[in-house]
Structure 1
Amino acid sequence: MVVHLSLSVLDSTSAPSSSSSFEKKSLNTLSLAVAKAKRVVVVTGAGISCSSGIPDFRSSDGLYALVKSRYPDVVLKGRDLFSASLFRDPESTRVFYSFIAELKRSIDAAKPAPTHHFIKTLDSKGKLLRSYTQNIDGFEEKLHISTTGSVKGKEKKMNIKEIKNVQLHGDIHRVRCTICSAESACLAEYLALFREGAPPNCPECTERSNARVSRKARPLTIGTLRPNIVLYDEVHPMGEEIGILSTHDIARKPDMLIIMGTSLKVHGIKKLVKDFAGAVHSPSATNGKSSRGQNASQSSPPVVSSSKRPSTHPQSARSARIVVFVNRSAPPADLASIIDYWVEGDTDTWVAKCEADWRRSRPQDWEIQPTLFDSLREKGHGVPPLAEEINTFKIVKGATKSAKPKPRSKCTPPCCIRAVISV
């Protein structure tokens, strides 16, 4: 069953009750579970970028509703503007380019939300196994989390360990050719053409065609550039690479799955979440303990509210491997068997509480360990002369090798260091 926890209990003005006490305790336990986790997989959707001013897709004021109200004569449903079939009609193609240009301009002016910074924290603390995002805004890369968008071109080999964020639906900051599939950054000149509803020509196709013409050969067809985002009913250009990454991560046996800001309506993301949840709950990963993932084929269990909570948790969040779903709306019924906790509310609110509890319960995780030489400098002793010679190369004009240090006393290195420390 899914244990339902509402972030509204954190409101100091709400009257205390037994159910709110249970929820607060459970939220604290989840925070500690995050702090203790070692291999966390994060799956995110448009909900984590709403506080940055970027609308989600399915809410009443989301992108689908915006598109439908703005272009009623072009699309019947807002989703139609994000379907690959739009390229069959010149008018819908023009509207698509114009709308994407406006969306990119909004994203360029926005800043990453607290939830993005939390993912960065997991990465910097060595806990993030990988982040998988449905978003195209590229906020993770703004925070220097290496992404699949960093792999430029087809010839560069993907570094599995280096990539920490996977863009499942592409990157609005990049474009690709409709013919040769060449990728490049979305330049200002391209954006200006998109804003007018016209795609720019592919520079690589143009260069190859001009080279043939200069040799008196037949010119090649020149492709146009389009935003490098994945539309409905379209094959992902990096589908094989994403499959390699997810398979690798499942084999690493993640100990926590955090799903934030997504309704999990799309089939592909559902399958990905099921695969990761199965890895988290697998008996081999839990040293022979029972697995929630084994019940996935059975009928979906209900969402249990705090007022009808079970006497014990389905799994102890302090020690067990768990799947957490953080979103304003409930998870789909067909995924209830694999989700342990539904935290209802804003993702920014949850990550703020999670980090605050983490800092309070495990302050050692946030300490910066000073080096021996840093401690000596703070005490005003300076750095041992021998250490300076080890860490400093004497530059000699015209020399290709560092100069040898001058002969020092016969005192061994430990004696030199002890002499300074004992001062």
Structure 2
Amino acid sequence: MTKTDKTLYITGAGVSAESGIPTFRGEDGFWTIGSRNYTPQQMATRDMYMHNPGEFLKWYYNRFATYRHHGPNKVHHWLADKTLITQNIDGLDGKAGNPDYISIHGRLDEVTLFHHQGDDVERIRAPWDEVDDANLESSLLELFKIGKHGPILNESLKPYVLLFDEYYTELYEISRAQQQMLDAEKMVFMGTSFSVNITNMALEIARHNNIPVEVVDPNPTHILHSQVEYFAMTAQEYISR
């Protein structure tokens, strides 16, 4: 982003679809496919991680970690010098060279110690490449240092991902994200269904500060705002106009 550009870009799963990563609510979306016994909304919770860590880690590995080697597309490269908050955990914006983007829901390639929410913990590299697929559950439990009684506080590992029953903390850079929203002179939402708290937070600030908004999506969600322009197209079509 140049010094005079005050545009904030907020991206969702639609931006990574061209990289071969499913969206969340499409036909093959992450939130349409769960496990044998649980829905995705039940799987992606701190409660599931704590009480059924083997099932949680297998689902997370199969639905997310299998995409860890995918590469960025033209949109990620176009966004590399922009002020960016992404809802995506795929890390493709980092691979595209954006040095300072906010991954507000976490990063697939990182884990933390299992901790009380709000604690200051380090982000470390995820051990996905060490997983033994032939013994998936036992391998994951061993790598994540989870004992027979479940995760151990400040000892076991937890994927660096914001789960449904968790809340935004400084681990996910929520204060910096809010400041970027307050500083913005325009917000551009790309490939998002406006179904998560961070987009609602941004829209509330846009309304309060009368900030112009652009919504980029093949089927854009219509929002309540006096200054909104819709672009019924993919993010790649938007950047190629």
Percentage identity across paired residues of the two chains: 19
Deviation at 1:66, TM superposition (A): 2.5
Deviation at 1:51, TM superposition (A): 1.0
Contact 1:63 1:78 in 2 (8 A): yes
Give me the TM-score of the superposition, normalised by structure 2: 0.81
The correspondence of residues 12-411 of structure 1 with structure 2, limited to 5 A, is: 38-67=5-34, 71-72=35-36, 74-75=37-38, 77-90=39-52, 93-120=53-80, 123=81, 128=82, 130-146=83-99, 163=100, 165-179=101-115, 181-188=121-128, 191-192=131-132, 196-197=136-137, 198-200=140-142, 223-238=155-170, 241-247=173-179, 249-252=180-183, 254-276=184-206, 278-279=208-209, 281=210, 322-332=212-222, 335-353=223-241
Amino acid at match of 2:15: I
1:189/1:107 CA distance change after superposition, 3 Å:
closer
SS at match of 1:109: coil
d(CA) in 2 for partners of 1:111 and 1:239? Answer: 25
* Max Rg structure: 1
1:63/1:250 CA distance change after superposition, 3 Å:
closer
Bigger share in helix = 1
SS at match of 1:324: strand
Contact 1:199 1:224 in 2 (8 A): no
d(CA) in 1 for partners of 2:31 and 2:172? Answer: 29
d(CA) in 2 for partners of 1:260 and 1:340? Answer: 13
1:117/1:261 CA distance change after superposition, 3 Å:
same
Residue-by-residue CA offset, 1:149-182 (whole Å, 9 max, x unaligned): xxxxxxxxxxxxxx3x111100110011114844
d(CA) in 2 for partners of 1:240 and 1:229? Answer: 9
RMSD between superposed Cα atoms in Å: 2.9
Deviation at 1:187, TM superposition (A): 2.8
Give me the TM-score of the superposition, normalised by structure 1: 0.48
Q: Where does structure 1 lack aligned partners over 5 or more consecutive residues?
A: 1-34, 147-162, 204-219, 283-321, 354-423
Name the count of aligned residue pairs.
227
d(CA) in 2 for partners of 1:57 and 1:221? Answer: 30
1:259/1:189 CA distance change after superposition, 3 Å:
closer
Deviation at 1:277, TM superposition (A): 5.1
